[in-house]
Amino acid sequence: MLNYAARRVALLAVLAATTVVTGSGCGARPTASVGEHVILAAPAPSAVPLPVPVPPRTTTRTTTPTPRSTTTPDRPGAPAIDPAALETAAREVEPNTTLGAVVLDRVTGRTLMSVNADEQFRSASLVKLMIAIDLLHRGASGSQRERLSRMLSMSDDSLASSFWVQLGPDLVPRVVALVDLRETEAPELAGKWGEVKVSPNDMVRVYRYIMESMPPGDRELVVGALGRAPEYAADDFYQYFGIPDGLDAQWAIKQGWGNNDHAMVLHSTGLVGEKWRYIVILLTEHPLGSGWRTSANSVTAAAGALAGKLPGA
């Protein structure tokens, strides 16, 4: 996802003495029913991670993506959420956490919580959503669609790199224009796709585009892949930190993690709740040396601060 430069050897030595975040066990989600509907909200107004030691594989949780509906249920609006609770929870685990977060209720279109929503973070693997949007919009072949699905669910970096070379770094301005992104910028060095800059608000716009503007078949491919994300990514990094381990709810997630010479980033984003009612975006940055386990646990703590505050989730 990100460039390690001269820190790689030093960080490998640090990481060798740690274990990857192992999850609290509270993130089990109900399997989506094939007969359930997906909320269609009204349109909105106008880097590769270091290898880390991981515990043995145990179980892999999967879900069936919920199909689209043509109606929006009549449901009460969720109350606003105090962002201080999320910031406090994250910083109690890793005191130097920088958190950018947004929670959107797709039923009402209301933003329930927002903190540092326009601040830029390095994307790490969140850029894989943009890769999928660009290729699907341009017309993906059957084999490309299969590879996109694996890239998203497994967070496969080799596939992301292959697509990045194929599509070129101009895919970022293309997606910016297509999705109407405001704070997203291409990387300074064209080959470093994990260094794309994104904001929490722009990640909300990405998910809204997927749910509201993509053709049904493309949306089902993307959401289905995110809903099948296994515990361990293609590089064996444990990717159930944040939303999966912090919330006892149905989810479809895209995670991100990585570091460069300046900082570590860990992100947990996705669709949450019955009929994918909520968009939850948790972007974090941590000082080098914070440790993957501690930093990932801080994201999980922030997600856990949302527990009980998302009606219908």
Residue 148, domain member (yes or no): yes
Is residue 176 pLDDT above 90, yes or no?
Answer: yes
Q: Among positive and negative, which fits the CA dihedral 181, 182, 187, 193?
A: negative
Average pLDDT value over all residues in the chain: 82
**Structure pTM?**
0.79
Range of weakest confidence among 73-87, 90-104, 123-137, 247-261 = 73-87
HSE-CB for 104 with a 13 A CA cutoff: 24
Residue 125, domain member (yes or no): yes
The CATH number assigned to the domain holding 135 equals: 3.40.710.10
Q: Give tens-digit pLDDT for 36-68.
A: 345 454 343 333 333 333 333 433 343 434 433
Mean pLDDT of 189-216: 97
Residue 135, domain member (yes or no): yes
Q: Give tens-digit pLDDT for 111-167.
A: 999 999 999 999 999 999 999 999 999 999 999 999 999 999 999 999 999 999 999
Residue 215, domain member (yes or no): yes
Residue 224, domain member (yes or no): yes
The pLDDT value recorded for residue 97 is 98
The pLDDT value recorded for residue 243 is 98
Task: For residues 268 and 155, give the distance between their C-alpha atoms in angstroms, rounded to a whole number.
Answer: 13
Structural domain count, the chain: 1
Mean pLDDT of 97-114: 97
pLDDT above 70: percentage of residues in the chain? 75
> Given pLDDT bands bounded at 50, 70 and 90, which one contains residue 254?
very high
Q: Residue 251 belongs to what domain range? A: 5-304
The pLDDT value recorded for residue 79 is 87
* Token couple for 266: 């860990």
Contact yes or no for 264/54 (Cβ under 8 A): no
Give every CB contact of residue 26 below 8 A, 6+ residues apart in sequence.
245, 246, 248, 304
Residue 131, domain member (yes or no): yes
- Give the CA radius of gyration of the chain: 18
Higher per-residue confidence, 8 vs 91: 91
Edge-to-edge strand ranges of the sheet holding 98-105 = 110-115, 98-105, 278-287, 263-272, 251-259
> What does the angle CA 299 – CA 176 – CA 157 come to, to the nearest 5 degrees?
50
The pLDDT value recorded for residue 76 is 60
Mean pLDDT of 90-100: 98
